[in-house]
Structure 1
Amino acid sequence: MKLGLLTAALGQMNLEQIAAWAPQAGYQALEVAAWPVGSDHIHQAAHLDVAGFTADDADRVRELMGSHGLAISAVTYCGNNLHGDPAERDRIHRHLRACIDAASALGVRHVTTFIGRDIGLPVADNFKLAEEHLPPLVRYAADRGVKLLAENCPMEGWHPDGYPANLAYSPELWDWMADLGFGLAYDPSHLPWLGIDPIEALEHALHAGIVGHVQAKDIQIDERARSRYGVFGKTVGRASTTDVGWWRYRIPGRGQLDWNRIIDILYSAGYSGDVAIEHEDPVWGGTLDKTLQGLQIAAHTLRRLIVASPNTQ
């Protein structure tokens, strides 16, 4: 097991700069963000330009990682694979296939994405849509030695009323998407505000053999504020989709998840993948310097829990 970081929060740095900085902070792996070039969301970086990714590009990236003693744990592009606009859905699928091609060229086993949802349709109709459009993507990946993983983020920001818009947010849905051929990119931070025990959910997923990657993000919950706003969060005066009023994401060590137990359960189950910090903490964000400081705090929290392999530099 290696400690890594998802590069999406470091859009102001290029992959070369991240690879040089990460080992100094205690990281051994990168989960590389590969959104389309030009994506302007703060957590949608393009550290791999997968469009037209060549053998020479793969050689360059492998050499860069090797020179800093880093592995790539996954290539990540979390688009809405069930988007309601067929043309947009096709564009998302084309880019996801390019991510799969790049991962295959790099010898990376996993591509992390979302299931998504057509928010104009009931969930039952989305199941039918998924069963039609997603298995070909799974087969495309498998033919190239890659496994597609769906992260369990609810993506409530994609829904106009803040309801889940990524049909991968609960263990029930993990079983369904596993039947479609997807593995799970497990992120415990999304579960407590939904009323799901992250420990029980992790044990279920490990027993089912579907955990391919782990993202480490924490959560801070204000239960008194929840009593005012309800589980779906603030309605009047909401400043943004993430302004829910009673919970917020934090870096590991600044929230309330039991990382000692989570990591121990992973070891107990024989999990051999990586754990990548995902930084969406508003306290340790806003500027590049604060984001890097937040990643240092997260590394300090988890580094002592993850045993370095004998050949780790």
Structure 2
Amino acid sequence: MKLGVFTVLFSDKNLDEMLDHVASKGIEAVELGTGGFPGDAHCKVDELLADEQKQKEFMEKIESRGLIVSALSCHGNPLHPQKRIAEKADTLFDKTVELAGKLGIPVVNTFSGCPGDHEDAKYPNWPVAPWPTEFQEILKWQWEEKIIPYWKEKAACAEKHQVKIGLELHGGFSVHTPATLLRLREACGPAIGANLDPSHMWWQGIDPVESIKILGRENAIHHFHAKDTVIDQPNVNRNGITDMTSYDDMQNRAWYFRTVGFGHDAKVWADMISMLRLYGYDYVVSIEHEDGLMSIDEGFTKAVNTLQPVMVKESVGDMWWA
């Protein structure tokens, strides 16, 4: 396994500065944004697609520092009911898949998106309750008319470019749990998998170790994020887990993101790393820093220091004891 970082946190640095910085910390892989919510500070998709020499120079910069690219990420909402928003995300996704194929990058990460509740809707609708029954009707329409048809087409496109799709399980989007990921994968094929982020499991009440088992049995983990979460139970009692309190009002939120090791201790992270290996994941653990209590450098460094001792680097080989 390799320790990586989602480089959006270093968007103030140019590509060379960012690569030098993360390599100096012992990072082995970078996850690069191509636009959408992550921005494109380190990977200009249109420029690279238009020039094979730039593609070569781009990869040489990364590889010369002993790094790999674990994924290209273009998180957006390609199912947004407003066409201008959906089309922008859709076009970016297609370009990102094409670029990943040309550069030999095996994974493209994004969100599943979330549609509206009818053809003339203006805003996404995220049903999370089975009653009143209108919510079930909305959910059925979304999956049958929007979600499955869209991702079936995109899965075929990704397979053509020899790229896997890592959908981040994230609240507010149609694919947000192991069950919804597996539902889409069953309908669209094995190109669809998870970019599994334990921080989003914790706040939904899902044990990340168990989510690894559920998805790992189906070989459905394509990428893995490392981000932590604190659950503030008194605020959960007041607000519930679908808390709409602003992220910057951390004292009053039911949950909030922390850097690795500041929501759950190293043993919990060791359990997740071990479970990933048990179920055949031998790829990148990509640090994502969204901690409102620490600077970028402090949070990133502490995450590296927590994860490095628990990473599994070598396969066991023969079991000499049995």
Normalised TM-score (structure 1): 0.86
Instruction: State the match for 2:173 in structure 1.
Output: 166
Amino acid at match of 1:245: R
User: Out of 294, 302, 311, which is 1:306 matched to?
Assistant: 311
Amino acid at match of 1:61: F
Instruction: State the match for 1:175 in structure 2.
Output: 182
User: Out of 61, 73, 77, which is 1:80 matched to?
Assistant: 77
Amino acid at match of 1:295: F
Give the direction of change, closer, same or farther, for the CA distance of 1:152–1:307 in structure 2 (3 Å limit): same
Instruction: State the match for 2:219 in structure 1.
Output: 209
Give the direction of change, closer, same or farther, for the CA distance of 1:242–1:78 in structure 2 (3 Å limit): farther
The question of whether the paired residues in 2 share the 8 Å contact of 1:51 and 1:95 is answered with no
The question of whether the paired residues in 2 share the 8 Å contact of 1:217 and 1:249 is answered with yes
Instruction: State the match for 2:238 in structure 1.
Output: 228
Percent identity between matched residues is 26
CA distance in 1, matches of 2:116, 2:40: 25
CA distance in 1, matches of 2:314, 2:60: 21
Question: RMSD between aligned alpha carbons?
Answer: 1.9
Matched, 1:50 2:45: yes
- The offset of 1:120, in angstroms, is 4.0
CA distance in 1, matches of 2:248, 2:46: 30
Instruction: State the match for 1:261 in structure 2.
Output: 271
- The offset of 1:30, in angstroms, is 0.3
- The offset of 1:174, in angstroms, is 1.3
Matched, 1:125 2:120: no
Number of aligned positions between the proteins: 287
Give the direction of change, closer, same or farther, for the CA distance of 1:251–1:95 in structure 2 (3 Å limit): same
Give the direction of change, closer, same or farther, for the CA distance of 1:309–1:264 in structure 2 (3 Å limit): closer
Structure 2, unpaired ranges of 5+: 119-137, 316-322
Instruction: State the match for 1:277 in structure 2.
Output: 287
Structure 1, unpaired ranges of 5+: 155-164, 285-289
CA distance in 2, matches of 1:27, 1:64: 15
CA distance in 1, matches of 2:205, 2:314: 36
The question of whether the paired residues in 1 share the 8 Å contact of 2:231 and 2:255 is answered with yes
The question of whether the paired residues in 2 share the 8 Å contact of 1:118 and 1:126 is answered with yes
Give the direction of change, closer, same or farther, for the CA distance of 1:96–1:184 in structure 2 (3 Å limit): same
- The offset of 1:45, in angstroms, is 4.1
- Bigger relative CO (Cα 8 Å, ≥ 6 apart): 1
